[in-house]
Amino acid sequence: MADTDRKDRAEYEVPLGIVHSALLEPFRTRLFVDDETVVDAEITYDSAHRGIERIMEGMPVQKGLIITERICGICSHIHLWNGTRMVEQGLGIEVPQRAHHIRVIGNELERIHSHLLFLGHAFEILGHETFSMRCFMLREPVQNILFFLSGNRVHYTISVIGGIRPRADIDKEKRRTLLGMLNSLEEGCKNFANRALKDSLIVSRIKEIGYLSKDDAVKYGALGPNLRASGVCEDVRTRVSEYSNFDFDIIVYDGGAVLDRVACRVFEVLESIKIIRQALETLPDEEPMNVDFEIGEMGFSTSYNEAARGEIYDSCALDESGRIKNYINRTPSMSSISAMEVSCIGDHLTDASLIIASCDPCLTCTNRITVVDENKGREYVLGPDEIRSMTRRRRI
């Protein structure tokens, strides 16, 4: 995305990655600088393409959906839920409201642990080891809650077609325990938010760097907290029927700097706790699973949802035997990473890695691509050698 004129006028090029101590993910950054000020940036990703969408083709849909959970270990629940939701909508399968509540609980717990993981790494890049460790200490109780809910700390496998797995159901005793764990977590998160966002060293370091205007955030496709931190009130949860019964605020800041992206995530953690508490307190008394359906041929069905990093999209069709045809999974990181190329411009070279990291990039979610040949109007899959060559020399 880098501008050719700006690149040519730059005094130096400073490359970072694919493997670099300042980068949390395997992408390559080219920073073009004048007098240590970034005048342009170019970020190349897809060095670790895994071909998950292609692997899923021809699989029975129940088996394929389990693979979606392996796309990412941080946001595994939303991948499985959104894929399951897509099939349920395509086949007209009715899902009990109790299952909807428990799926929402899983999604919000995942959002909390994802945001805390981001904050921990962000403070680590800042060099503030104390706050970094406190983030990971806060995240541990979230993982314990997820383990108590589902039996797993990473791949929770809560959603199945028609409802949820029996082990993820919540009886009265389990609900009482979860509410107690949630109260303790909320107290810790509030104390941390109050201390972190009032710390003069942290605020002074991130309050005026990485500016992404509202117009540029929309133009370059920033999503999730990165979009909302630039003043755009957009959250897919407001359009997802499963969230219609819950009251929560959309956290929006208009500063567009790294501080705003950090603050947005900090307060989204508290809103997620609010949603989880509502879901637990209003959990319907009914069976959490509908087994009265058949898997068969399905035309292309789509589903949108809000992952921790922003809008997620799934689409596929099924053949007459219920096998997957042309699965597509789009995640928010690719758009948000591209927006950071603009956000870097005008800032000091030493701030660039922090600015890029402030979009919370997740390359395990991102590394699946389709290339369209504009001249021939056809799609094709890149081989490993082509991907490596493009990663090293130019953008895809």
Q: Which residue range forms the structural domain that includes residue 215?
A: 52-330
Give the pLDDT score at 396. Answer: 34
Q: How many CA atoms lie within 13 A of 324 on its CB side?
A: 28
- How many Å apart are CA 1 and CA 334, to the nearest integer? 12
- Identify whether the C-beta of residue 273 lies closer than 8 Å to the C-beta of residue 185: yes
192 with 293, same domain: the answer is yes
322 with 370, same domain: the answer is no
Domain edge (last residue) among 330, 364, 385? 330
Please report whether residue 38 resides in a domain: yes
209 with 351, same domain: the answer is no
Element (H, E) at 179: helix 172-196
Instruction: Estimate the crossing angle of helix 258-281 against helix 172-196, to 10 degrees.
Output: 160
Please report whether residue 335 resides in a domain: no
Starting at the edge strand that comes first in sequence, how are the strands of the sheet with 28-34 ordered? 12-16, 28-34, 37-44
Please report whether residue 340 resides in a domain: no
Q: Which residues contact 318 (CB under 8 A, 6 or more apart)?
A: 61, 87, 90, 295, 296, 297, 298, 324, 325
Element (H, E) at 395: none
Q: Cα separations (Å) of 5 from 1, 2, 40, 159?
A: 12, 9, 10, 50
What is the number of domains present in the chain?
2
211 with 357, same domain: the answer is no
Question: Which CATH number do you get for residue 324?
Answer: 1.10.645.10
Instruction: Give the tokens for residue 343.
Output: 């956000």
165 with 36, same domain: the answer is no
- Identify whether the C-beta of residue 365 lies closer than 8 Å to the C-beta of residue 333: yes
Q: Which residues contact 393 (CB under 8 A, 6 or more apart)?
A: none
237 with 276, same domain: the answer is yes
| Stated pTM of the model | 0.88
123 with 267, same domain: the answer is yes
- From the list 313, 300, 346, 274, the residue with the least C-alpha distance to 105 is 274
Please report whether residue 121 resides in a domain: yes
Q: Cα separations (Å) of 17 from 28, 30, 276, 346, 388?
A: 5, 9, 39, 21, 13
Give the pLDDT score at 70. Answer: 86
Please report whether residue 339 resides in a domain: no
Query: How remote is the C-alpha of 30 from its chain's centroid?
Result: 24
29 with 67, same domain: the answer is no
220 with 94, same domain: the answer is yes
DSSP state of 166: G
Give the pLDDT score at 81. Answer: 97
Q: Which residues contact 34 (CB under 8 A, 6 or more apart)?
A: 9, 10, 11, 12
Q: Which residues in the chain come in under a pLDDT of 70?
A: 1-5, 20-25, 46-50, 364-396
Domain edge (last residue) among 304, 330, 356? 330
Domain edge (last residue) among 330, 361, 384? 330
Please report whether residue 337 resides in a domain: no
Q: What residues does 311 pair with on adjacent strands?
A: 306
SS3 for 127?
coil
- How many Å apart are CA 284 and CA 98, to the nearest integer? 5
- How many Å apart are CA 309 and CA 251, to the nearest integer? 13
Please report whether residue 320 resides in a domain: yes
33 with 164, same domain: the answer is no
pLDDT in tens, 350-391: 898 889 889 988 776 665 545 555 555 555 555 556 655 544
- How many Å apart are CA 345 and CA 32, to the nearest integer? 9
101 with 183, same domain: the answer is yes
75 with 19, same domain: the answer is no
Please report whether residue 342 resides in a domain: no
pLDDT in tens, 220-261: 889 999 999 999 999 999 999 999 999 999 999 999 999 999
Give the pLDDT score at 392. Answer: 39
